[in-house]
Structure 1
Amino acid sequence: MRQASKATAAGGGMPALEARATDLVIRLAFLGLFAYWSIELVRPFLPVVIWAVLLAVALYPAYAWLARRLGGRQSLAAAIITGLALLTILGPVSMLAASLVETVQWLAAGLQAGTLRVPPPPAGVADWPVVGEQAHEAWALASTSLDDALKRYGTAVLPAGGTILGKIAAIGGDILKFVVSVVIMGFLFRPGARLAEGARAFAGRLVAPRGAHFVDLAGATIRNVSRGVIGVALLQTLMAGIVLVVAGVPGAGLLAFGILIFCIVQIGPAPVLVPTIIWAWTAMSAGAALILTLVLVPVMLVDNVLKPILIARGLTTPILVILTGVIGGTITYGLVGLFLGPIVLAVFYELVVAWVRLEDPGAS
Structure 2
Amino acid sequence: MEQVNDTAPQPSGAGQFSIEARVSDLVRLGIIGLFAYWTLELIAPFALIVIWSAILAVALFPMFDALSRLIGNRPVIASIVIVVSCLVLIIAPLALVAVNFADTVQALIGKLRTEDFTLPAAPAAIKEWPVIGERIYNTWNQIAGDLASTVIKFQAPIREVMGVIVAKLASVGGGVLSFVASILLSGLFLTRATPLAAAVQLLANRIGGEKGVGFARLAGSTVRNVSRGVIGVAFLQTLLCGLCFAFFDIPARGALTFAVFMLCVMQLGPGLVLLPMIVWAWFSWSYGTALIFTCLAIPITVVDNVLKPILMSRGLSTPMLVILIGVIGGTLSHGLLGLFLGPVVLSVFYELLRAWAWPAAASTGSEHELAAGFDGQVQRSVQ
TM interval, shorter chain, is over 0.9
Q: Does residue 328 of structure 2 align to residue 309 of structure 1? A: no
> In the alignment, which residue of structure 1 is the partner of 2:86?
85
- Hey, what's the Cα distance between the residues in 2 that align with 1:196 and 1:80? 21
- Hey, what's the Cα distance between the residues in 2 that align with 1:255 and 1:86? 21
Q: Does residue 107 of structure 2 align to residue 103 of structure 1? A: no
- Hey, what's the Cα distance between the residues in 1 that align with 2:3 and 2:26? 34
Q: 1:1-364 residue pairs with structure 2 within 5 A? A: 6-9=7-10, 14-121=15-122, 122-123=126-127, 127-128=131-132, 139-358=140-359
- Hey, what's the Cα distance between the residues in 2 that align with 1:324 and 1:83? 33
- Hey, what's the Cα distance between the residues in 2 that align with 1:10 and 1:286? 100
* 1:161 counterpart letter in structure 2: M
SS of the residue corresponding to residue 209 of structure 2 reads coil
Q: Residues 10-56 of structure 1: CA distance to partner in whole angstroms, max 9, x if unpaired?
A: 87654444333333222222211111110010000011111111101
Greater Cα offset, 117-126 or 141-150: 117-126
> In the alignment, which residue of structure 1 is the partner of 2:379?
none
Change (3 A) 1:118 1:126: farther
- Hey, what's the Cα distance between the residues in 2 that align with 1:47 and 1:138? 46
- Hey, what's the Cα distance between the residues in 2 that align with 1:345 and 1:26? 36
**1:277–1:292 contact (8 Å) kept in structure 2:** yes
- Hey, what's the Cα distance between the residues in 2 that align with 1:31 and 1:63? 38
Change (3 A) 1:8 1:53: same
Change (3 A) 1:292 1:117: same
Deviation at 1:268, TM superposition (A): 0.7
* TM, length-normalised to structure 1: 0.92
* 2:127 counterpart letter in structure 1: A
Deviation at 1:214, TM superposition (A): 1.1
* 2:306 counterpart letter in structure 1: V
Change (3 A) 1:112 1:56: same
Deviation at 1:263, TM superposition (A): 0.6
Let me know the Cα RMSD of the aligned residues.
2.1
Change (3 A) 1:237 1:109: same
Deviation at 1:117, TM superposition (A): 1.4
Deviation at 1:137, TM superposition (A): 6.5
* TM, length-normalised to structure 2: 0.88
Change (3 A) 1:10 1:282: farther
* 1:170 counterpart letter in structure 2: S
Deviation at 1:190, TM superposition (A): 1.3
- Hey, what's the Cα distance between the residues in 1 that align with 2:175 and 2:245? 27
Change (3 A) 1:15 1:291: same
Structure 2 residue runs of 5 or longer lacking an equivalent are 361-383
- Hey, what's the Cα distance between the residues in 1 that align with 2:121 and 2:37? 61
Deviation at 1:4, TM superposition (A): 5.5
**1:126–1:136 contact (8 Å) kept in structure 2:** no
- Hey, what's the Cα distance between the residues in 2 that align with 1:5 and 1:310? 67
SS of the residue corresponding to residue 6 of structure 1 reads coil
> In the alignment, which residue of structure 2 is the partner of 1:362?
none
Change (3 A) 1:279 1:10: farther
- Hey, what's the Cα distance between the residues in 1 that align with 2:92 and 2:39? 37
Deviation at 1:115, TM superposition (A): 2.0
> In the alignment, which residue of structure 1 is the partner of 2:376?
none
Change (3 A) 1:285 1:195: same
> In the alignment, which residue of structure 1 is the partner of 2:369?
none
Change (3 A) 1:2 1:31: farther
- Hey, what's the Cα distance between the residues in 1 that align with 2:119 and 2:60? 48
- Hey, what's the Cα distance between the residues in 1 that align with 2:246 and 2:263? 19
Q: Residues 147-178 of structure 1: CA distance to partner in whole angstroms, max 9, x if unpaired?
A: 22221112221110110111011101100110
Deviation at 1:330, TM superposition (A): 0.6
Q: Residues 104-134 of structure 1: CA distance to partner in whole angstroms, max 9, x if unpaired?
A: 01111111122221023443689549xx95x
- Hey, what's the Cα distance between the residues in 2 that align with 1:235 and 1:10? 77
Q: Residues 39-81 of structure 1: CA distance to partner in whole angstroms, max 9, x if unpaired?
A: 0100000111111111011001111110111111111111000
- Hey, what's the Cα distance between the residues in 2 that align with 1:72 and 1:22? 54
Structure 1 residue runs of 5 or longer lacking an equivalent are 360-364
> Percent of aligned positions with the same letter in both sequences?
40
Change (3 A) 1:156 1:140: farther
